[in-house]
Amino acid sequence: MGFLAIMNAYTMRISLSIAITEMVNKSHGATEEDGGVCPIDESANPDDFTGGEFDWDEELQGIILSSFYWGYVITHIPGGMLAEKFGGKWTLSLGILSTAFFTLITPWAVELGGSTALIVIRVMMGLGEGTTFPALSALMATWIPAKERSKLGSLVFGGGQVGTILGNLLSGVLLHNIEGWSSVFYFFGGLGVLWFVIFTLLCYSDPESHPFISEKEKAYLKQELGTLERDRTLPPTPWRYILTSVPMMALVCAQIGHDWGFFIMVTDLPKYMSDVLRFSIKDNGLYSSLPYLVMWIVSLSTGVLSDWLITSGRMTITFGRKLFTTIASIGPACFIVGASYAGCEKAVVVMLFTFAMGLMGTFYPGMKVNPLDLSPNYAGTLMAITNGIGAITGIIAPYVVGVMTPNHTLEEWRIVFWISFAIFNVTNLAYIIWASGEVQPWNTPHLMNKSVEAGESIDVPANAKKSVQSLEAIKQ
């Protein structure tokens, strides 16, 4: 259900990226004659390249596509704190439900208020969806043992790739077969509501509150996690320690690199496919989704590989996180730049984008599950901070692309991809130098997960040591 939560969140988030290619009039910009865009295939329907009724320039489209993240950034930290305090179930489910509601009313709002109304709706969607990752991290910290985090974390977070696949693919099919663009929002909004109903009936915030859990599973989780319920006496979030933690800052850097590249691809790859490569709307949905299919497969397979390498002692958690994050940074950086030099060789371009996004899948057993390593007790807040700061790139990236590609030519897009190349590599370098896979001292040491790497010592603050000693004295 966590996987399906992220899947639904992403279908609702990115469906506009395909739909906007059919909402906006395409009569402006570069032409085949000046070499700025690729020629249209002879077998294609010319009507696929005329667009819709709205005369929004590239800069305004960039603002529309980025507006979701204005709201998305705001609710991350509140969402993480609420999930830790009251449990992840309702923090997650109500956030998805509100996003689904605003998705459903998008066509009505656009017809009523045009681009301004669409921006407002997207901000409201972002506010609802901002709780998703923090709430899921809090849920996973109470349900998933340390030795299964790479595998199950990759599975859950892999919903983002599957959501992007389905969002692109089904949007293309709906737009191709149903007149008008409204069907996209009705379809994905409806799926979000359906998920909410099923999730609230089946899922619970922690093992102790689950009425159907077996005694065998309880015993296993008790052994692995040390507890079956959230610690309702958890001390206040140690903000000073978190915000001055070097591994935490390294994680934020890696998140910025991941999100910049990912948001460029998620929000703007369909526009590149449509405006530059001149794919039809149906082909656009298909080829825009293909890279994420490979990314999903890679994230799942490398999640299993990472867990095996760590539990078998072939590598430490810290080295594993750094290795897979590096693969996910350097590989995509090189392939997206290569795609910009492939010109109008459509098969080659799609192949290079597919390789780029495929390798980005190793982010999930890398830095994406790292908040659970650093602090199981405050995983929701850590995910809120990293994902929230990273999501700022979702505000900046689409706007930068809109400003830098006013004529949507190959040369303009090439500069965009070189900027992404630099951001990938700089942020990854910071992660390599300063990242850690060890539980940090500010995770209230007496509650630490006992499954942390065996034999590795952790510096415990003096006041925490005294607390533990006092507890032992009382027991005696």
Q: What is the pLDDT along the chain (476 residues), one digit of tens a residue?
A: 999 999 999 999 888 888 887 888 765 555 554 556 677 665 555 555 555 678 888 888 888 988 998 998 899 888 888 887 788 899 999 999 999 999 999 999 999 988 999 999 999 999 999 889 888 888 888 888 877 877 888 788 888 888 988 888 888 888 888 888 899 999 999 999 999 999 999 988 888 888 888 888 888 888 877 665 656 666 778 888 899 999 999 999 999 998 898 888 777 777 777 777 777 666 766 777 788 888 888 988 998 899 899 989 899 999 999 999 999 999 999 998 998 898 788 888 889 988 998 999 898 889 988 988 898 888 878 888 898 888 888 788 888 888 888 887 888 888 999 999 999 999 999 999 999 989 888 886 444 444 333 334 444 443 333 333 333 343 33
Cα(first)–Cα(last) distance of the chain, in Å?
44
pLDDT at 35: 52
What is the per-residue pLDDT for 28?
52
Per 3-state DSSP, what percentage of the chain is helix, strand, and coil (rounded to 5)? Answer: 75, 0, 25
* CB of 360 closer than 8 Å to CB of 262: yes
**Quick one: tokens of 326?**
């590096």
The pLDDT of residue 459:
44
Query: What's the token pair of residue 278?
Result: 């001149």
Contact 441, 459 (CB under 8 A): yes
- Residue 46 tokens read as 């010319």
Q: Look up residue 300 and give its two tokens.
A: 């799942």
C-alpha 224/C-alpha 373 separation (Å) is 14
CA distance 392 to 409: 26
Backbone angles phi, psi at 409, to 5 degrees: -100, 165
Helices 2-23 and 106-129, packing angle to 10 deg: 140
Give dist(CA 313, CA 84) in Å, integer.
32
Position 196 scores a pLDDT of 97
One-letter amino acid of 190? G
Is-above-0.95 flag for pTM?
Answer: no
C-alpha triplet 27, 32, 34: angle, nearest 5°: 105
Cβ-Cβ contacts under 8 Å for 335 (sequence gap 6 or more)? 352, 353, 355, 356, 359
CA pair distance 183, 281, nearest whole angstrom? 14
Q: Residue 165: which of 287, 66, 255 has the closest Cα?
A: 287
CB burial string 309-339: b at 16+ within 10 A, e below:
bbeeeebbbbebbbbbbbbbbebbbbbbbbb
For 54, list phi and psi in degrees, rounded to 5: -95, 130
Q: Give 95's strand partners.
A: none
Beta bridge partners of 24: 54
Residue 86 CB-half CA count within 13 A:
9
Residue 380 CB-density burial (10 A; 0-12 exposed, 13-18 middle, 19+ buried): buried
Length of the chain: 476
For residue 462, the model assigns a pLDDT of: 39
| Predicted local distance difference test score (pLDDT) of residue 376 | 81
